[in-house]
Amino acid sequence: MGHTDWTIAYHPKVAGEDIPQLDAPMRRDIERAIRTRLTIDPFTFGKPLQYSLKGVRSLRVGAYRVLYMIERSTVFIGAIKHRSIAYRDGIEKRFY
């Protein structure tokens, strides 16, 4: 696959709820992972999900999961949650 410039877009709740709940070191780790992985090749680094989250991918960053979808040249980040709650019912509403 050729080089693509991936644009990152965020669901409003990611900026309003998810990111403010992170401590500073985890916030830095997640920002770095997005910058160095998802903007490079979101297909390689993320794991495809299934069932109600079919079409969504998950990037593991420590105990957190960055849930995102890929559409054309945009990576849409719908949630950044601790793994214990990342896949709970209702999170799919941020994507569909």
- How do residues 58-90 score in pLDDT, each as one tens digit? 999 999 999 999 999 999 999 999 999 999 889
Domain that residue 23 falls in: 7-94
In a domain, 44, yes or no: yes
**pLDDT tens-digit readout, 24-57:** 999 999 999 999 999 999 999 999 999 999 999 9
CATH of the domain at 78: 3.30.2310.20
Show Cβ contacts of residue 42 under 8 Å, excluding neighbours closer than 6 positions: 6, 57, 59, 68, 70, 75
In a domain, 85, yes or no: yes
In a domain, 73, yes or no: yes
In a domain, 23, yes or no: yes
In a domain, 72, yes or no: yes
Q: How many domains does the chain have?
A: 1
Single pTM value for the model: 0.92
In a domain, 2, yes or no: no
Show Cβ contacts of residue 9 under 8 Å, excluding neighbours closer than 6 positions: 74, 75, 76, 77
In a domain, 28, yes or no: yes
